[in-house]
Amino acid sequence: MPRVWILPAVRAAVLAGAVVLIAFLPRLVSEFRVSQFTYVGIYFIALLGLNILTGYNGQISLGHAAFMAIGGYTAAALILGRPGFELLGQHPSHLLPDSAMRPVFAIPIAGAVTGLIGYLLGIPALRLAGVSLALATFALAVSLPSIAKHFEHLTGGGGGLSLPLAKTPFGLDVSTSHWLYYEAWVCAAVLFVVAWILVRGRVGRGWRAIRDGEVAAVSSGVSPAVYKTLAFGVSAAFAGVAGALFVIQVSYINPDTFPLSLSILLLASVVVGGLGSLSGVVVGALVLEFLPIYAQQPPLVHVNLAKQASPVTFGVVLILIVVLMPGGAAGLLRLLARPLALLGKQR
Amino acid sequence: MPLAFSWADFGQQVTSGLAAGAIYASVALALVLIYRSTDVVNFAQGEMATFTTYIAWSLMHHGLSYWPAFVLTLLIAFGGGVGVERLLIRPVERRPEIVIVIVTIGLLIALNGLTGWIWGPEVKAFDSPFPNNTVDVGGVVISVQDIGTFCVCLATVLVVWAFFRFTTVGLAMRAVAVNPDASRLMGVRVGWMLALGWGLAAVLGAVAGMMAAPTVFLDPDMMLVILIYAFAAAVLGGIDSPVGAVVGGLVLGVVINLLGRYVNFVGQELRLPSALALLLLVLLIRPSGLFGRVAVRRV
């Protein structure tokens, strides 16, 4: 009998271990670390979405921070409502709801709104393949801050919007930072399952078929228009949820909250984690949060480098990874797991 | 606020638009040069230009006068461009497009950080070789700075064009862009021709950087917006057409200036988004750009 169960069993064990670790992490580390790991969860969601678009569907987006910003602004507007705007001394737009909304409910709506906008943007993007698409999304990320500044009644203009500080809702007995942590990671877990189901099934097959050969996919009856716009929409929705969580975490948003550099770093992190791998995304999220910190003050050696050391390291690491290790962190893991897979195939 | 329309004002907007457009045209041409030979859009083009402009600043800071520093910077830029192709692009040459794009993005991130690390994030003033006065041509006031920028950029473009048109090496480079395999069989050293293309692109970028720096001031992110406009210009003209890049750059410079001036809704803030919306419109109607070849897909 081939021992086919070994690899899936190991995988399930690792996944269960990860879930337990994530669930108990706040008890093990300081409050400050908890907030850092909240950001890891938020980046995890955004990177999942970007990996669906770039890794599974082969469309390069250099503008994912713009989708995060759309999600963030939607959440901020819903949480504040018209009364909140008036309290901040702003003139609210008539599009805003009459009353404030709980953050918990604002998150899925922000995701849905961003997903819809992403879907609509995916339609003109159909005519732009590869590089032109990267340029168009890059342009979106560059121009979003000035668009946000222009529509003051929805976004608070250059001054931004301050949200009421986050509180644990429903009278639960959890500290605020722990609540935000669990909020982010529960969203991350749900979206991970959603991504996993999508990628494994018919939709994911369609996405990969288009990535690997559009002409062949079309002749097999896979419609690029349907699948590409769907990938855009799903990916944007994920980014929107991440943006909403980010804004709730920092209680503030302005046109510079989601800068262009974030768009670029998101793409870089997806590649570092591994294109077309869901488990690699967690490595990408850890790198995105912690590399800037440790590049400035490397562990073990006592040097204090300038703030600019982190982008330099990021850039160099990125180039080295695509040149030497095209599969990213996930590729490395697969390489390490190969003996196990071979063991499974043995009789 | 919209003022009463006057032809003198209109002329002024057009001439300053042409000067900005010449800078976009140089960077756009650099992008097209690399796209034609290596089949990839170089996202690090702007950061390479910024880096070389900082080198020019340092040279001048150490006592060199403008034009010697200018020429020396162009030589350094050429060497840098060749070096980037040999060291970074060569190893991934035959890999999928996305890999090469990501290498150039890595270069963008690293160079941007390195510029800030070496020279600091604060904004620096950059000397201009042209006097700070204006000339009056039939009621239209034009700054000498604009005229100089336009002439230097266009002269560089013409030199590059002449190089491609009239020299054997230029011919070989064009051959490589059209058919690398056949060129190799004819004895052209394809690898070195690609590196040469990157070197020339870096020179064009350096010229644009040094021309832009006196007006936008020197800081690590100064080429970002210019790069976006250059992308737009290149795509507008057709990403594989050098003539299209230059025409696209000049047209874009003028159109943006006029939009910002005369369309009230656009103003200063929405210049970039409206230029990009315009570009998207062109692409939806004519995906290959104004001068580009229509790509026919072989099934």
Write out pLDDT tens, residues A65-96. 999 999 999 988 888 877 777 777 676 666 67
Confidence of residue A298 (pLDDT cuts 50, 70, 90): low
Q: Is residue A82 part of a domain?
A: yes
pLDDT digits (tens, 9 = 90+) for A226-283: 888 888 899 999 999 999 999 988 888 888 888 888 888 898 888 888 888 888 888 8
- Rounded distance between C-alpha atoms, residue A209 and residue A271, angstroms: 20
A319 and B114 within 8 Å at the Cβ level: the answer is no
List CB contacts of A19: < 8 A, sequence separation 6 or more: A189
pLDDT digits (tens, 9 = 90+) for A302-341: 666 666 677 888 888 888 888 887 777 777 777 777 777 6
Residue written as token pair 């003022």: B3
Confidence of residue A44 (pLDDT cuts 50, 70, 90): very high
List CB contacts of B168: < 8 A, sequence separation 6 or more: none
Contacts of A60 in chain B (CB under 8 A): 98, 101
Percentage of chain A beyond pLDDT 70 is 88
Residue of A265, A307, A312, A324 for testing the chain B interface, max B β-carbons within 10 Å: A312
Domains and CATH numbers, chain B: 7-285 (1.10.3470)
A60 and B101 within 8 Å at the Cβ level: the answer is yes
Q: Is residue A191 part of a domain?
A: yes
Structural domain boundaries, residue A314 = 6-345
Which residues on neighbouring strands pair with residue A253, listed in sequence order? A161
Contacts of A315 in chain B (CB under 8 A): 106-113
Q: Is residue A246 part of a domain?
A: yes
Confidence of residue B101 (pLDDT cuts 50, 70, 90): confident
Is the pLDDT confidence value at B103 over 60?
yes
Is the pLDDT confidence value at B297 over 60?
no
Confidence of residue B1 (pLDDT cuts 50, 70, 90): very low
Residue A49 or residue A60, greater confidence: A49
List the single residue in A62, A146, A268 with the smallest CB-CB distance to B272. Answer: A146
Please report which residue ranges of chain B form alpha helices under DSSP H: 7-38, 45-61, 66-84, 97-119, 144-166, 168-178, 180-185, 190-216, 223-237, 242-262, 271-285
Q: Is residue A110 part of a domain?
A: yes
pLDDT of residue B160: 87
Is the pLDDT confidence value at B120 over 90?
no
Residue B298 or residue B177, greater confidence: B177
pLDDT of residue B239: 78
pLDDT of residue B216: 83
A132 and B239 within 8 Å at the Cβ level: the answer is yes
Amino acid at B80: G
CA trace torsion B79, B84, B86, B88 (10° rounding)? 170
Q: A213 CB near a chain B CB, below 8 Å?
A: no
The first and second tokens of residue A214, run together, are: 């559009």
The stretch A205-226 carries a mean pLDDT of 84
Host H or E run for residue A80 = helix A64-87
Our count of domains for chain A comes to 1
pLDDT of residue A300: 61
The stretch B249-278 carries a mean pLDDT of 79
List the single residue in B92, B231, B283 with the smallest CB-CB distance to A323. Answer: B92
pLDDT of residue A265: 86
The first and second tokens of residue B94, run together, are: 């035959």
Q: Is residue A1 part of a domain?
A: no
Residue B161, min C-alpha distance to chain A (Å) = 25
B106 and A316 within 8 Å at the Cβ level: the answer is yes
> Which DSSP symbol is given to A173?
S
Rounded to two decimals, the ipTM of the complex is 0.79
Contacts of A308 in chain B (CB under 8 A): 113-114, 116-117, 121
Contacts of A314 in chain B (CB under 8 A): 106, 109-110, 113
Confidence of residue A131 (pLDDT cuts 50, 70, 90): low
pLDDT digits (tens, 9 = 90+) for B8-17: 788 888 888 8
Q: Is residue A211 part of a domain?
A: yes
Amino acid at B243: V
Do the beta carbons of residue A146 and residue A139 sit within 8 Å?
A: no
pLDDT digits (tens, 9 = 90+) for A153-188: 777 777 778 777 777 777 677 788 888 888 889 899
User: What is the pTM (predicted TM-score) of this model?
Assistant: 0.84
Residue A98 burial by CB count (10 A; 0-12/13-18/19+): exposed, middle or buried? exposed
List the single residue in B98, B270, B297 with the smallest CB-CB distance to A60. Answer: B98
pLDDT of residue B266: 67
Residue B86 or residue A29, greater confidence: B86
The stretch B278-291 carries a mean pLDDT of 74
pLDDT of residue A102: 81
Residue of B102, B112, B224, B259 for testing the chain A interface, max A β-carbons within 10 Å: B102
The first and second tokens of residue A234, run together, are: 């799903």
Q: Is residue A217 part of a domain?
A: yes
List CB contacts of A243: < 8 A, sequence separation 6 or more: A46, A67, A68, A69, A70, A71, A72, A73, A75, A110, A114, A258
Q: Is residue A165 part of a domain?
A: yes
The stretch B112-118 carries a mean pLDDT of 89
pLDDT digits (tens, 9 = 90+) for B139-173: 778 888 888 888 988 898 889 888 888 988 888 88
B299 and A215 within 8 Å at the Cβ level: the answer is yes
Is the pLDDT confidence value at B298 over 70?
no
What is the end-to-end Cα distance of chain B in Å, rounded? 54
Do the beta carbons of residue A133 and residue A224 sit within 8 Å?
A: no
Percentage of chain A beyond pLDDT 90 is 15
Do the beta carbons of residue A217 and residue A224 sit within 8 Å?
A: yes
B280 and A134 within 8 Å at the Cβ level: the answer is no
- Rounded distance between C-alpha atoms, residue B18 and residue A281, angstroms: 46
Is the pLDDT confidence value at B293 over 60?
yes
pLDDT of residue A141: 85
A319 and B110 within 8 Å at the Cβ level: the answer is yes
Q: A139 CB near a chain B CB, below 8 Å?
A: yes
